Chains A and B, each alone.
Chain A
Amino acid sequence: MYGKGILKSLKVTWDRFWDTYTEDISWWLRGKKRYNSAEGIAHRSSKDTRGIFTVQYPEEQLLLAEEMRYVPFLVYDEAADGKKEVRCTSCGICAKVCPPQCIWIVRTNDPVTNRPVPVPTDFYIDMDICMNCGFCAEYCPFDAIKMDHDFDIAAYERSVYNLEKLLKPASYYAGIRPENAAREDEARRVKEAAKAAKAEAAATTPAA
């Protein structure tokens, strides 16, 4: 019969239409919030999703995967006296590996000896050029530069972030990437323990 295929098509559309309402009603009957709740958003991004699929940004925001990466930031540790201990040593690996070459680092030189000091005088990232590839974070040997989760950074001016604007505390990093931060902290702790043991061994060997 001519037109049977169209009816079949319309049946699919009808089912989808029906789902949008029955899903909402079934959530309501179960006393759960389908909208504006983490559970509802997670359900809508899962394999069981039916009915309305969209997430109403900015009222609702998608749950970000831990690995989600947006523009980089610099991590500092908070010392006991509240001082910022910048992890970056201005070794320049991120600037070398950066594909669009948007990282600019001014290395600090000791005014007396003129030898490099492992801390950046200034650090610029041109966020308009950054392509969010994550190489800087991946190849940083000091866990000093990391990718952010803060994605709504639209601005009226061009965005060249300097050191001040790039610095964020380690606690913030642990907040957005708990698993990565825990793993890296553990690795660093092990490394430092090994280093300390070695130093101790080195200190004791001449005596023995």
Chain B
Amino acid sequence: MAAPASTQTVDLIARFPGMVTADTRPGFTGFIVNKENLLEVAVAIRDEFGYDLLTAVTGVDYLAENKMEVVYHAFKTTGGAGLIFRVQVERVDPIEVPSLTGIWPGADFQEREAWDLLGIKFTGHPDLRRILMWEGYEGHPLRKDWKEAFYEEEVKPFKSRWPDGQHIYSEFKNPFRDNLNFPKDFDPEKYEPENEKDLYASLENHTLKGEGGLKTDQIVVNMGPHHPSTHGVLRVAVTLEGETIMGLKPVMGYLHRNHDKIGERNTYLQTIPYTDRLDYFNSMSNNFGYVTTVEKLMNIPVAERAEYIRVIMAELSRIQNHLIFIGMLMNDLGTMYTPSLYVFEERELILDIFEAVSGARMMCNYYRFGGVVRDIPDDILQRIKDLVVERIPAKTDEMERFLNDNEILVGRLKGVHLINAEDAIKYSITGPVLRAAGVPYDLRRADPYSIYDRFDFDVAVRYNGDMMDNYLIRFDEIRQSLRIIEQALKQIPQGPINSQKPAYQVRVPAGEAYGRIESPKGELAFYVVSNGKPNPYRYHVRPASFVNLTAIEHICRGAKIQDFVALLAMLDIVMGELDR
């Protein structure tokens, strides 16, 4: 685990005297940058110090100190620890912070999210609209003084549950039994949603003009939110000229449940099962990321055997995620169901193992702070071995035989440009998409967490950045994951599976932690701020899908509408994680 103090090796204070101060709060690291100098400092961080990948932008509302803070996490694509820099502004509306979209376009969606949920206005942002909350929504839900509709108490556990827990439906406390809160003097008859108007206005502003080559009217098409191929409830408004996409704006939030706020109401432990529901294909990876982050804050070791179990489970999860990716990509390309059902067989076998060890196929809830829930018996280790050694390699080969040379598939994928390395870094893309563009950036190697430094494996990388490479790299990663699991199964020691005593209330010292793992879809990171109480003060998820989707507009403009669904499929988004 990288020591947080290592971020201090970059001497921003000497470079920018008077503009930057060190963050000296206990448990915090990094630099506080003056709001006025943010752009200047950010350019230097990117160009002089080489932190080219801005992974996370988020805000924290320090209500008691009357401050609003924006936290930036920048990393180098060559690997190593990151640089944390932040801006603190007075918490008086309008809260304004300069936008970094000009320097890192990948900050786009995350800044919109910070505006939507925390009400931080990013000046100079090209398209600052709400992103997750719905039209007509009032307020900023992640602010500490905001309360949800069925608000009960600030933090769990709620006092009404015990010792006098007479069950009552929360809506029964509300006279109209609904959760609608209208502002005063609101007349639904006269209400016109602004968001739709704003969406189309922004779509028009960001549309290429007259470059489609065809003299024709531009038309706006809405795909979704119930389009069968957008991987859930994602809506995309596109402007077409003939068949060429001239402008595109994704609309999301249909599955939004404010996971961050739930996480702040929860105790640390209670959030683990909620992380299962982020990227519901990879609950094991999500658990992994969250417990790694909290362990960093708590500064506790992980039991040796549990480390191996964690790696085995996370890699199995990666295998089944990539298998699903291949199957669903084929669905999106029109090969309805035959390949996807073939991969589902292998996935089912992996899920059987998840069920046997954790109790659930998808919502595993298997990791705990300091270890895992229960040990894996030897017969299940044998089953994993059989799968990993005998079955999955053979079936992966069969899938490759089945698909890779197929002329129709090759025709659809080969040479259709997705994104090049330079743009992928600019747009903060991580995961297989970045590696298929030729950047060998894999957190398991670049910033090793857990025990990945003990295994011998290669970072899968391909160089063309077209759809074919993005498709093939998934097979490469499955093979590497199989290698890791084989080694882990050989090396796994006997011993306890948790370094801590089982406790439903953990003590987390005050401070902040940014934990990240290589989830199958990219960098999954959690940013947790603790104030020493049983519940996190700030809990933020940096999901891979959400940040990767920032580039969709850039990827698709100029492409053909027929390719849109496939291009979107390549980003491997999942709405549970995207909308949170």
Contact size class for A?
Answer: 35 or more
Query: In the bound complex, do residue A6 and residue B407 qualify as a contact, i.e. CB atoms below 8 Å apart?
Result: yes
Residues of B within 8 A of A116 (CB): 163
Residues of B within 8 A of A105 (CB): 161-163, 165
Residues of B within 8 A of A147 (CB): 359
| Distance, CA A160 to CA B373, complexed state (A) | 28
Given A45-B349, A134-B359, also A97-B405 (CB < 8 A): no
Query: In the bound complex, do residue A104 and residue B387 qualify as a contact, i.e. CB atoms below 8 Å apart?
Result: no
B410 within 8 A of A: yes
A139 within 8 A of B: yes
Among A55-93, those with CB < 8 Å from B are 65-69, 90, 92-93
A-B interface, 5 closest residue pairs, ranked by CB to CB distance from nearest = A104-B165, A5-B405, A107-B163, A92-B162, A133-B273
Which of B156, B161, B386 counts the most chain A CB atoms within 10 A? Answer: B161
A171 within 8 A of B: no
- Cβ contacts A to B, 22 pairs, < 8 Å: A5-B405, A5-B407, A9-B401, A9-B402, A9-B406, A47-B383, A47-B390, A65-B355, A67-B358, A68-B360, A69-B360, A95-B157, A95-B162, A96-B504, A97-B269, A99-B156, A101-B156, A101-B158, A107-B162, A124-B167, A135-B270, A135-B365
Query: In the bound complex, do residue B406 and residue A139 qualify as a contact, i.e. CB atoms below 8 Å apart?
Result: no
| Distance, CA A6 to CA B156, complexed state (A) | 58
Residues of B within 8 A of A24 (CB): none
B154 within 8 A of A: no
B363 within 8 A of A: yes
Q: Which residue of A lies closest to B385 (CB)?
A: A47
Residues of A within 8 A of B162 (CB): 90, 92, 95-96, 103-105, 107
| Distance, CA A28 to CA B391, complexed state (A) | 25
Residues of B within 8 A of A132 (CB): 360, 363
| Distance, CA A67 to CA B401, complexed state (A) | 37
Chain B nearest CB: distance from A122 CB in Å?
8
Chain A nearest CB: distance from B235 CB in Å?
27
| Distance, CA A12 to CA B390, complexed state (A) | 18
Q: Which residue of B lies closest to A180 (CB)?
A: B374
Given A12-B398, A47-B391, A69-B360, also A104-B504 (CB < 8 A): no
| Distance, CA A156 to CA B158, complexed state (A) | 29
Q: Which residue of A lies closest to B271 (CB)?
A: A99
Chain A 126-143, CB-CB to B under 8 Å as 1, else 0, gives: 100001111100110000
Q: Which residue of A lies closest to B377 (CB)?
A: A179
| Distance, CA A6 to CA B160, complexed state (A) | 64
Residues of B within 8 A of A65 (CB): 352, 355-356, 359
Query: In the bound complex, do residue A99 and residue B266 qualify as a contact, i.e. CB atoms below 8 Å apart?
Result: yes
Chain B interface (Cβ within 8 Å of chain A)? 156-158, 160-167, 266-267, 269-274, 338, 342, 345, 348-349, 352, 355-360, 363, 365, 373-374, 383, 386-387, 390-391, 398, 401-410, 502, 504
Query: In the bound complex, do residue A133 and residue B157 qualify as a contact, i.e. CB atoms below 8 Å apart?
Result: no
Q: Which of A12, A68, A104 contacts B355 (CB 8 A)?
A: A68
Q: Which residue of A lies closest to B344 (CB)?
A: A53
Q: A8-B401, A95-B161, A135-B270 are in contact. List 10 more A-B contacts (CB 8 A).
A: A8-B406, A9-B402, A12-B398, A65-B359, A67-B356, A67-B357, A67-B374, A92-B161, A99-B266, A105-B165
| Distance, CA A134 to CA B409, complexed state (A) | 44
**How many residue-residue contacts, CB under 8 A, span A and B?**
136
| Distance, CA A100 to CA B231, complexed state (A) | 27
| Distance, CA A119 to CA B105, complexed state (A) | 60
Query: In the bound complex, do residue B273 and residue A9 qualify as a contact, i.e. CB atoms below 8 Å apart?
Result: no
Given A6-B408, A47-B386, A133-B273, also A106-B374 (CB < 8 A): no
| Distance, CA A95 to CA B404, complexed state (A) | 53
Given A65-B355, A68-B360, also A53-B401 (CB < 8 A): no
A16 within 8 A of B: yes
| Distance, CA A135 to CA B270, complexed state (A) | 9
Chain A nearest CB: distance from B492 CB in Å?
19
| Distance, CA A18 to CA B345, complexed state (A) | 17
Query: In the bound complex, do residue A92 and residue B401 qualify as a contact, i.e. CB atoms below 8 Å apart?
Result: no
| Distance, CA A93 to CA B505, complexed state (A) | 10
Residues of B within 8 A of A139 (CB): 502, 504
Residues of A within 8 A of B405 (CB): 4-5, 8-9
Query: In the bound complex, do residue A97 and residue B349 qualify as a contact, i.e. CB atoms below 8 Å apart?
Result: no
Query: In the bound complex, do residue B383 and residue A53 qualify as a contact, i.e. CB atoms below 8 Å apart?
Result: no
A36 within 8 A of B: no
Query: In the bound complex, do residue B390 and residue A101 qualify as a contact, i.e. CB atoms below 8 Å apart?
Result: no
| Distance, CA A93 to CA B381, complexed state (A) | 33
Q: Which of A45, A68, A124 contacts B165 (CB 8 A)?
A: A124
Query: In the bound complex, do residue B358 and residue A47 qualify as a contact, i.e. CB atoms below 8 Å apart?
Result: no
| Distance, CA A3 to CA B156, complexed state (A) | 62
Residues of B within 8 A of A66 (CB): 356
Residues of B within 8 A of A96 (CB): 157, 161-162, 504
| Distance, CA A103 to CA B175, complexed state (A) | 24
| Distance, CA A96 to CA B156, complexed state (A) | 8
Query: In the bound complex, do residue B165 and residue A106 qualify as a contact, i.e. CB atoms below 8 Å apart?
Result: yes
Q: Which residue of A lies closest to B392 (CB)?
A: A47
| Distance, CA A67 to CA B377, complexed state (A) | 12
Which of B162, B166, B342, B405 counts the most chain A CB atoms within 10 A? Answer: B162
Q: Which of B167, B266, B273, B359 contacts A160 (CB 8 A)?
A: B167
| Distance, CA A103 to CA B162, complexed state (A) | 9
Given A12-B402, A105-B162, A107-B163, also A93-B359 (CB < 8 A): no
Chain A nearest CB: distance from B371 CB in Å?
13
Query: In the bound complex, do residue B363 and residue A104 qualify as a contact, i.e. CB atoms below 8 Å apart?
Result: no
Residues of B within 8 A of A93 (CB): 504
Query: In the bound complex, do residue B359 and residue A106 qualify as a contact, i.e. CB atoms below 8 Å apart?
Result: no
Chain A nearest CB: distance from B500 CB in Å?
13
Q: Which of B272, B274, B403 contacts A9 (CB 8 A)?
A: B403
| Distance, CA A65 to CA B361, complexed state (A) | 10
Chain B nearest CB: distance from A198 CB in Å?
22
Residues of B within 8 A of A103 (CB): 161-162, 165
Residues of A within 8 A of B360 (CB): 68-69, 132
Query: In the bound complex, do residue A13 and residue B359 qualify as a contact, i.e. CB atoms below 8 Å apart?
Result: no
Query: In the bound complex, do residue B165 and residue A95 qualify as a contact, i.e. CB atoms below 8 Å apart?
Result: yes
Given A4-B405, A99-B274, A101-B158, also A68-B167 (CB < 8 A): no
Q: Which of B165, B387, B398, B410 contacts A47 (CB 8 A)?
A: B387
Q: Which of A3, A134, A160 contacts B365 (CB 8 A)?
A: A134
Query: In the bound complex, do residue A53 and residue B348 qualify as a contact, i.e. CB atoms below 8 Å apart?
Result: yes
Chain B nearest CB: distance from A47 CB in Å?
5
A26 within 8 A of B: no
